[in-house]
Structure 1
Amino acid sequence: MKKNIILIGFMGVGKGTTARAFTKKYGTYIIDTDDLIESKEKKEVKKIFAKKGEAYFRAQEQETANWIEKCVTGTFISCGGGFYKVDNLKKLGTVVLLDASFEWIHNRLKTAKNSENKLAKRPLFSQEKKAKKLYEEREQAYKKLADVVIDVENLTLDEQLEQIAKKCKL
């Protein structure tokens, strides 16, 4: 894989799960943009938001995108839900959207084995109306930016991986 695969989608859609499964199956390197920022800041995303605010966090996302553009190739990159706003996203690689309805994502988080952790990591889901509004604001932007759209609702994880590999010509 020479070009990066950039995985976008709403929080909780399964980007991290898909990235980990993809690397296991195809032997690629993976990175997670939120993990990179947490490592640099030595704080969890929710604490960065709480202490320094969203504007600061978005600036960190842009800095991360700039680094990826300059230094990273042949990597599967799982992005935070708001990472799509970076101004050089299309230069980073093939943009793949994991697409699902808000209801499906919310149900996925509520019924996961470690649902308490998954929901705690995403405090927005404690305010369902706000989360749904954010989903609706982002939905069209995600689709507009995507080179490839994978509807994950009716696919197994293996089927998702196969579609990504096929559509990204791996």
Structure 2
Amino acid sequence: MKNIILIGFMGVGKGSVAREVIKHSEYIAIDTDDMIESMENKKIKKIFQEDGEKHFRALEKKVAHWLQTSVKNTLISTGGGFYKQKNIKDIGLIVLLDSPFENIIKRIKEHPNAVKKIKKRPLLNDMKLAEELYDERRPEYLEMADIVIDVTNKSAYDCAKELLRKVKKHA
């Protein structure tokens, strides 16, 4: 078992799929955004507001280095921009959770905690800019991924089962 790194646009369901994967496998899971919030003792939104995106990306770099040198056999959920870390391929197998932008936004808006989910993602404050960011990142996600899981209209459970099946074939 090697590390599995979940990448994909914010709100695509990386956390939900990760929770299902750990229920049905030997993996444990960690989340890079949660780690950064713990390191800084503040929420991502506040880090962006007070310290800026550049500082946040530097924290991601620090986390990426630690993951590469210290973490094994773990499912790693990442923030939407974490895929740009230069050493990501050295950390583990990269799995893209993919869905069209409209479906991601629909998924977030239909969630019981929709307001909270949108608030905690500072880059979703402007939907036009968010869609431009999605359009910019998606080809890069696809190029980076070892495995792609289309999550559109699928449950987290079904996505987790597909992910584990594809990871096993990839080994």
Pairwise TM-score range, normalised by the shorter structure: over 0.9
Percent identical pairs in the alignment equals: 49
Partners of 2:110 and 2:154 in 1: CA distance? 17
Partners of 1:123 and 1:94 in 2: CA distance? 28
Unaligned runs of 5+ in 1: none
TM-superposed CA distance for 1:163, in Å, is: 1.2
Partners of 1:111 and 1:5 in 2: CA distance? 28
TM-superposed CA distance for 1:28, in Å, is: 1.7
TM-superposed CA distance for 1:124, in Å, is: 2.7
SS of equivalent to 1:77: strand
* TM-score normalised according to structure 1 size: 0.96
Give the aligned partner of residue 96 of structure 1.
Answer: 95
**Segments of 4+ moved more than 4 angstroms:** none
SS of equivalent to 2:24: helix
SS of equivalent to 1:31: strand
TM-superposed CA distance for 1:160, in Å, is: 0.9
Give the aligned partner of residue 54 of structure 1.
Answer: 53
* TM-score normalised according to structure 2 size: 0.95
Question: Are 2:77 and 1:81 aligned?
Answer: no
| Residues 48, 122 of structure 2: 8 Å contact kept | no
Q: For 1:133, give the aligned amino acid.
A: E
TM-superposed CA distance for 1:158, in Å, is: 2.1
Unaligned runs of 5+ in 2: none
TM-superposed CA distance for 1:20, in Å, is: 1.1
TM-superposed CA distance for 1:64, in Å, is: 0.3
TM-superposed CA distance for 1:128, in Å, is: 0.8
Give the aligned partner of residue 114 of structure 1.
Answer: 113
Partners of 1:159 and 1:24 in 2: CA distance? 12
Q: For 1:7, give the aligned amino acid.
A: L
- Greater CA deviation, 90-99 or 114-123? 114-123
Q: Give CA deviations for 1:39-83 in whole Å, capped at 9, x if unaligned.
A: 011111111111111111101101100000000000000000010
Give the aligned partner of residue 36 of structure 2.
Answer: 37
Give the aligned partner of residue 7 of structure 1.
Answer: 6
SS of equivalent to 1:53: helix
Q: For 2:109, give the aligned amino acid.
A: K
Q: Give CA deviations for 1:71-101 in whole Å, capped at 9, x if unaligned.
A: 0000000000010110001111000000000
Q: For 2:131, give the aligned amino acid.
A: K
